[in-house]
Amino acid sequence: MMATYTFATMGTVASLIFDQRRPDTSILRAVEALFYEDDKRFSLYRRESEISRIARGELSLIASSAEFRDAYELAAEWRLLSYGAFTPERPDGTLDLSGIVKALSIDKARLALERNGISNVIVDVGGDALAMGTHRGAPWAAGIVDPLNRSRLLCSVPLEGGDCAIATSGTSERGEHIWSAHPSPYRQVTVLAQDIITADVLATAILAGGRETRDDMTQRWNIGVLTVDHNGALEMTPGMRTTTLTMNAAPT
């Protein structure tokens, strides 16, 4: 029987879903604290966060914490790798690391759980999930929500191969929040990858960059992609392993 530990963080809900019983409460609270500390440092909705102080000119990037600078450096690297489709700034120049911070926090949770000998668990934050190990010897699975009808799933995706991650970027829940020079043909993009940072960053990049970016990313990274356009049409790349597909998806 699975056990779940849930808490609010980063404006959404996080869930730790365990294959069997929940670990000691101290471990759960330590994981929750990791997300709290990252939210306190990186949230533009917190007036006293490092990133808000940088935005107001009260703190320079060079004077920020080592953890903040590391996150910015990683985001800047992904901007180069994605040819600008992923960016750590808003159009007005305001530094915004929300496109990578949640994934970094999920990865920190993974390391914390591994250090405590916990291997069969899903870390899910707002629908972006990292699967560790298996569920009773079988792969974990993640459902992809239909952006046109959020009461149903488009499909179920098996999360196989040890650690495996899936992330979705879209406009159905948060509106138009992805910064792009051109309108995206996609309403929603889901990426399956071996790590949560790659999955999360590339889902954002493909939503911003469109089909050309999707085709480039699938050639350069070992990922699977499922896209939904504004008319509800689906396209699925060969790397996306899905079961119980409920709508017609065109292979790419």
The pLDDT assigned to 111 comes to 97
pLDDT digit string, tens, across residues 100-128: 999 999 999 999 999 999 999 999 999 99
SS (H, E, C) the chain: CCEEEEEEECCEEEEEEECCCCCCHHHHHHHHHHHHHHHHHHCCCCCCCHHHHHHCCCCCHHHCCHHHHHHHHHHHHHHHHCCCCCCCECCCCCECCHHHHHHHHHHHHHHHHHHCCCCCEEEEECCEEEEECCECCECEEEEEEECCEEEEEEEEEEECCCCEEEEEEECCCCCCCCCCCCCCCEEEEEEEECCHHHHHHHHHHHHHHCHHHHHHHHHHCCCEEEEEECCCCEEECCCCCCECCCCCEEEC
CATH code for the domain of 235: 3.10.520.10
Range of the structural domain that residue 76 is part of? 3-251
Averaged over 70-95, what is the pLDDT? 95
Task: Name the domain count of the chain.
Answer: 1
Residue 52 above 70 pLDDT? yes
Q: Which tops the pLDDT comparison, 241 or 196?
A: 196
Judged against a pLDDT cut of 80, whether residue 34 lies above it is answered with yes
Q: Is 173 exposed, middle or buried (0-12, 13-18, 19+ CB in 10 A)?
A: middle
Supply the pLDDT for residue 176: 47
b/e map 72-99, b = 16+ CB within 10 Å: bebbeebbebbeebbbbeeeeeebbbbb
Q: In this predicted model, which residue has the larger pLDDT, 4 or 244?
A: 4
pLDDT at 161: 74
pLDDT higher than threshold 90 for residue 203: yes
